[in-house]
Structure 1
């Protein structure tokens, strides 16, 4: 178990109500430990276990945890519908109940609950905080070189195609302000897995929300089976390619209109896919490097 961050005793009451959403499918070996560690690391945060009707009894275990801790809630879903759908259901559940900050975290122990205070500290001055394996101070434990290359290559390809200056756009340890989620048109999101994480970060950045990265240590699961598949990777590849191509074509159309004789003001980039609905382009210039290993992108509307 990782050593708790120094800020652990901070209840982050100034942030309002904090909800950590943990999607589960067959995580009976992990859920008790991860919820216990989370409650110890961030006692002021509530936990929502979003279970996809796990046949191994994960939902029943979560119910027993909730019986003994009023800060733990369980959302029982009808079946395995994917990571993205589980998070979206959790986001809506939390927003409907007045939560102000909503956190994504895996159930398998790959995200260290003891590092949650880093994300909560950073979201005081941001709209979306990404736990990053690839900024200075970030790390990955127990991954083979081939998987590190795949993950880093996926983030690099997404950065290039989408024009984002974010080092870890596929990671799933994140803290959102409620206003960010309400501002990215969640109801139009259909992507899953890695692609779901790319989708949300790109929408937030293009809408002008301030996106910050903080270093985390990612530890490969010790128990249970990974949900990663070739289908998830393939979906991410083709969606990012389509989004990036549409985004760049939109930029070219805008440039052509601006250069035409008598052209009016530059229009907004319409793009395709994620962010097609999201208005202003954002300046994704060099990293600002605020804080140790912290990078930012985008502007902050109304903050």
Structure 2
């Protein structure tokens, strides 16, 4: 690592849950790659002795009792003070040798975050369902914020102090990677991506992700993000659907009334009127929530600007 980053305080943050098989290799690899860094392992109720193995490997071990990666990241950013934070999963699938380049770019270009974009060493490293879900969510966020992303579910990232101390962690589980990306895109932060090798898990180690369960989570996250970040568009879409249904139900009633002067399907008329009222309420809810979202974004920006810029 060049002198630009050598004088900085570097913290390697490793979230872990039952990674005793892999954690020693992860700690050793990052100690070699970043000899001046403090290596912190955040154990999330492991039952296989991960904390003890990490301590023997020389890491500073922290215990997080609330289950879920989101809770772990909250404690990481709250408890550790550094100039740059390297967050990497403890499953020994990420390339520690790439860390100096990620940190160097963070400081050289005064960035807020650098994402390690995974490039599989072997074609079968990614499960097809996970790869498809990643592409789907990545494309959706790129559309939502107008900025291209390559791998928003990567567990290998470098953050500035400004990013870490202004990030309001809300997620509880593996949605945290999406939330990290949204925080950067929402505030128009300086972001970069660096391609890094991605390898298979060590023998005996198993992924905590489920293709079906986490696929559903991805879809739910996409809908939630659309509603939270673009409320006017989200609720206007709902309003349009409700209004269209109301009109489709009302057209036959108007035709019958024009021909006979009667409204024979009175319940349908009530339903059509109710749907139109709901459409109006949805539209105005979107307007109100859009104002709230702008205010929330301004508060996040003020928290971001209250931290010193990378030097």
Question: Given the two structures, how large is their TM-score scaled by the length of structure 1?
Answer: 0.71
Instruction: Give 1:129's aligned residue.
Output: 114
In structure 2, relative to structure 1, the CA distance for the partners of 1:24 and 1:246 (3 Å cut) is: closer
State the shift of 1:231 in Å: 3.1
SS at match of 1:149: helix
In structure 2, relative to structure 1, the CA distance for the partners of 1:91 and 1:63 (3 Å cut) is: same
Instruction: Give 1:247's aligned residue.
Output: 229
Structure 1 segments, 4+ long, off by >4 Å, are 267-272
8 A Cα contact 2:145 2:186, kept in partner: no
For structure 1, list consecutive stretches of 5 or more residues without a partner in the other structure: 1-6, 67-71, 254-266, 283-300
In structure 2, relative to structure 1, the CA distance for the partners of 1:231 and 1:40 (3 Å cut) is: same
Instruction: Give 1:217's aligned residue.
Output: 197
In structure 2, relative to structure 1, the CA distance for the partners of 1:207 and 1:28 (3 Å cut) is: same
8 A Cα contact 1:19 1:48, kept in partner: yes
Q: Is residue 190 of structure 1 aligned with residue 182 of structure 2?
A: no
SS at match of 1:277: helix
Instruction: Give 2:11's aligned residue.
Output: 19
Q: CA RMSD in A?
A: 3.1
In structure 2, relative to structure 1, the CA distance for the partners of 1:103 and 1:250 (3 Å cut) is: farther
Question: Given the two structures, how large is their TM-score scaled by the length of structure 2?
Answer: 0.70
Q: Is residue 92 of structure 1 aligned with residue 78 of structure 2?
A: yes
For structure 2, list consecutive stretches of 5 or more residues without a partner in the other structure: 236-287, 302-307
Instruction: Give 1:232's aligned residue.
Output: 214
State the shift of 1:84 in Å: 1.6
**Structure 2: distance between partners of 1:181 and 1:250:** 29
State the shift of 1:240 in Å: 2.1
State the shift of 1:139 in Å: 4.0
Higher helix share: 2
Q: Quick one: which of 77, 98, 106 aligns to 2:64?
A: 77
What CA deviation, in whole Å up to 9, does each residue of 1:252-273 have, x standing for no partner?
99xxxxxxxxxxxxx995576x
**Structure 1: distance between partners of 2:221 and 2:202:** 31
**Structure 2: distance between partners of 1:42 and 1:10:** 13
